[in-house]
Amino acid sequence: MRISVFILWLSLLLPAAWAQSSGWVQATELKAELVSDYQQVRPGQQLTLALHFIPTEHWHTYWLNPGDSGLATSIEWSLPDGVSAGPIQWPSPQAIKVPPLVNYGFEGPTILLTELQLSPDFQGEWLPLSAKVDWLVCAEICIPSEAVLQLKLPVSTVAELSKDHSALFELARQRLPKPLPQQGRFEVQNGTFSAVLPLPEDLNVSAFFVGGTELVDHAAAQKIDWVDGQLLLRQPQNTYFSVAPAQIPLVLHTAAGPVSTILTFNRQLSTPAPTQATDWLEWSWMLVLAAAGGLVLNLMPCVFPVLSFKAISLAQQNAGAQAAQREALWYCAGVVLSFMALAALMLSLRSAGELIGWGFQLQNDWVVLGLAYLLLVLGLSLSGVLQLGAGLMNAGQSLTGRSGAHGAFFTGMLAVVVASPCTAPFMGTALGYAATQPAWSAVAIFAALGLGMALPFVALAFWPALGRRLPKPGAWMERLKQWLAYPLYLSVVWLLWVYGRQQGLDAMALALVGVVALVAACWIVGLVQLGQQKKNRLAAAVLLGVAALLLPQLAAPSASEAGMEHSQPWSEPRMQQLLEQGKPVLVNMTADWCITCLVNERVALNTDSTRAAMKLYDVQYLKGDWTRKDPAITSYLRQFQRDGVPLYVLYWPGQPPELLPQILTPDSVRQALEQLSSKTSTQGDTP
């Protein structure tokens, strides 16, 4: 009798003890459980659930922003009516470096908290909770897994905390970053992520973690400054950045521990002006770099032929004469004011929400093609095919034969137009700095850029010794003018290449047809100017119309041009078909979230040497994408006792499949092919 009573009493107690946890679920390289901080709940209360991960040593899981690869843990709740779940409360992440990539995640045991709220009118004696959890655990390979974790809590009029798991929840809350009362702003522009956070004191921040994916280049260096009560954070933009979210979480690692806040997207973000002596020194140094970059711009292919002929024309004047000095100053004004106008335009577009940087006009397909046509006409003029008359195209001729203030000023303007697609040495640093500065500072840096570009002409006009070093005018000048057309033609080729990269081969072919029509029109105009043709003005106009009509319509690149990779999509039938044909086959099972996969592709698979080796041995390269679950790929992995990617299998005729290492070297594929080829040859020679 006593034994029966004891068993009944024990059976009543055990569910209450077990209900606090789902129990451990064992998966590959990781075990997980779901735990409640209350062993008994009441209607209207809030409780916390902990998803507790313990991975195998040296394995890790991922934060809400997994970084360059990986996959964030997700929880899908199944809750009764009257119960709601909040978002995951993430602990402070750490940077997991696998050069050249960096991920954000957690090594070792990890606890993810979630708050649940019961409504005051919740009905029922039990609270059943179910969570479908998806996670990715990685070391050298990555293994995605999932589990359904369940627990059941009794409901009463009095809530009771769990004593068995209090230490676990205390540890989890200690690992959460402390929220800051201040919120900040962020922007992504000119290839840089920038954030401003008002702080009453310097927190001695050592690193920051951006919660939004595809915003920052995670492996790039972070720049952290604290100026006049504002924390300034900068990091290069992610290659795959497309649209900035409205808000993102931010975690800061400080000397006092991790803290967190929220950043709001701001299209008009401006960082504080330099206030310390070192800031003014840095700003002054950037002015010097900008001026040096402007000086070097004179040697760029688009600019050099235009400006060189202007310099030659100075040889026809007395160096140091007032007329030459006046022209030089007007030319300088045209250059500097044009650069300042360009800076103002860029700042205005940015304030309106456009994400642009230096050379932003080349992001517009029509501008690229229009600039190519303009430089082509200028080149034909230098080659003597035609002489440009009045109107817009008079700019090219004004560089060679026109003098006076108007000609010099217009020369400076056109020089800036043709120079703006180029970035000379020293310019990149100065322009990158200008992108993070207030408007007045950015405009000043652009003005310094213009002064540097105008410096050679000012020097020639104001220093007679330099002018006397110029050669005397003669017949050579016409020959030089013709030679200077060829850098312009090369610039046209480059611009058409840019256009082809933007729009595809079909669009570039139509653009080339427009080039032919434009050349023909210019040739006819040249004949008319020489008096050799008098009635062909209509033909020239028709050809110019054809060139305009052939401006291709904007269209996305075709799929065949967008992916010039040397792989084919993997499928079991395709692989078997190639094997039946006796072809060597390399199978690569990969996923976007697999860091080892991405490193191997960069270092060993998508290289010229590996492509050459595959071509030499006629290897068919099949690539399976396991980014999203694919039962066919899962089944294929299990054929080789693998639960995750990467997996590299090399099939050679007459040989069993060979598994390549999970971490490849640049020569791994080539060496494996050579060994298999040698083995086959040896077996073939054996009687």
Q: Quick: pLDDT tens for 281-334.
A: 767 777 887 777 777 666 655 555 555 545 545 544 544 466 667 777 887 888
* CATH number for the domain that contains residue 184: 2.60.40
* Number of structural domains the chain divides into: 4
Residue type, 184: G
Q: Are residues 89 and 225 in the same domain?
A: no
The model's pLDDT over 343-367, given as tens digits with 9 standing for 90+, comes to 777 666 555 544 444 444 555 667 6
For residue 176, pLDDT over 90 is answered with yes
For residue 602, pLDDT over 50 is answered with yes
For residues 297 and 215, is the Cβ–Cβ distance under 8 A?
Answer: no
Residue predicted with more confidence, 282 or 632? 632
For residue 276, pLDDT over 50 is answered with no
Does some domain include residue 499?
Answer: no
- In angstroms, rounded to a whole number, what is the distance separating the alpha carbons of residues 552 and 554? 6
Q: Are residues 622 and 647 in the same domain?
A: yes
Domain boundary pick from 176, 204, 227:
176
Q: What count of Cα atoms within 13 Å lies in the side-chain half-sphere of residue 405?
A: 5
- Quote the domain boundaries for residue 219: 179-265
Q: Are residues 283 and 405 in the same domain?
A: yes
Q: Are residues 172 and 184 in the same domain?
A: no
Q: Are residues 169 and 188 in the same domain?
A: no
Q: Of 106-115, 398-407, 500-509, 603-612, where does mean pLDDT reach its minimum?
A: 398-407
The DSSP bridge pattern shows strands 94-98 and 60-67 to be unpaired
Does some domain include residue 558?
Answer: no
Q: Are residues 193 and 52 in the same domain?
A: no
Does some domain include residue 272?
Answer: no
Q: Which one, of 401, 404, 415, lies nearest residue 337 by Cα? A: 415
Does some domain include residue 548?
Answer: no
Does some domain include residue 524?
Answer: no
Does some domain include residue 382?
Answer: no
Averaged pLDDT score across all residues of the chain: 77
For residue 404, pLDDT over 70 is answered with no
The model's pLDDT over 44-77, given as tens digits with 9 standing for 90+, comes to 999 999 999 999 999 999 999 999 888 899 999 9
Q: Are residues 258 and 302 in the same domain?
A: no
The pLDDT value recorded for residue 574 is 92
The pLDDT value recorded for residue 244 is 84
Domain boundary pick from 128, 160, 176:
176
Q: Are residues 309 and 414 in the same domain?
A: yes
Contacts of 11 (CB under 8 A, 6+ apart): none
In the predicted model, what is the mean pLDDT of residues 262-281?
59
Which pLDDT band holds residue 1 (cuts at 50, 70, 90)?
Answer: very low
For residues 54 and 45, is the Cβ–Cβ distance under 8 A?
Answer: no
Does some domain include residue 538?
Answer: no
- In angstroms, rounded to a whole number, what is the distance separating the alpha carbons of residues 104 and 525? 64
Q: Are residues 300 and 434 in the same domain?
A: yes
The pLDDT value recorded for residue 436 is 55
* CATH number for the domain that contains residue 160: 2.60.40.1250
The model's pLDDT over 224-235, given as tens digits with 9 standing for 90+, comes to 988 777 888 999
Does some domain include residue 539?
Answer: no
Q: Are residues 412 and 315 in the same domain?
A: yes
Q: Are residues 463 and 580 in the same domain?
A: no
* CATH number for the domain that contains residue 589: 3.40.30.10
Residue predicted with more confidence, 280 or 511? 511
Enclosing H/E stretch for 672: helix 668-685
Domain boundary pick from 474, 491, 521:
474
The pLDDT value recorded for residue 5 is 40
Kindly give the interhelix angle for 405-419 and 365-382, rounded to the nearest 10 degrees: 130
Q: Which one, of 348, 682, 368, lies nearest residue 551 by Cα? A: 368
For residue 210, pLDDT over 90 is answered with yes
- In angstroms, rounded to a whole number, what is the distance separating the alpha carbons of residues 126 and 142? 38
Q: Are residues 127 and 147 in the same domain?
A: yes
